[in-house]
Amino acid sequence: MSEPISRRDFMKASVYFVGGIVGAAVGIPAVGYLIEPALGGGGKEAWIPIGKMEDMPEIGKPYPFSFTRVQVNGWERTATSKGGFVIRKSENPEDILILDSRCTHLGCTVNWKEDERVFLCPCHDASFDAEGAVIDGPPPRPLDRHAEFRVTEDGILEIFYSEA
């Protein structure tokens, strides 16, 4: 036979019940916030807008661009600057060459030297031609190319970025 519950026990049980609901409402999002970085997050691939085609009118001229990617590794966030050059090869907006500005030797950033029409790497004096081919210095291969790109309806050039 069950015993009748006292008013005092009923009040205690009610307080525990309500306290449990409040604790779950506050605690679950807090725990989610704390463990979310360890579960992944931070996309590794994305379409990155790098400029308007109308701002890059000259054929053969390298137009620099840059963007920042944030990598999430657990609770650690690392921002990395990326960049390159867009070179139109004709009036056709699809006929473009997009070079990465990272030197293929040890990763320094190359700069365009207009009077010589070469990309120069300041770290070990390498030079690349306007197509990114090595002219001189220690780089083992041409500048990397962003082969996957698209032009949106608004005329924005985007590259597909994928972390290696």
Q: Do 42 and 71 form a contact (C-beta atoms < 8 A)? A: yes
The single residue among 26, 59, 106, 135 that binds ligand FES, judged by CB under 6 A, is 106
Residues numbered 9-38 forming contacts with ligand FES, rule: CB under 6 A: none
The one segment of 27-35, 49-57, 62-70, 99-107 that binds ligand FES by CB under 6 A? 99-107
Tell whether residue 132 is a contact of ligand FES (CB under 6 A): no
- The distance of closest approach from Cβ of residue 85 to ligand FES in the complex, given in angstroms and rounded to an integer, is 15
The CB-side HSE value for 65 (13 A sphere, CA atoms) comes to 24
The single residue among 117, 124, 141, 150 that binds ligand FES, judged by CB under 6 A, is 124
- Name the E strands within the chain: 45-52, 62-73, 76-88, 96-100, 111-113, 118-121, 126-128, 134-136, 149-151, 156-162
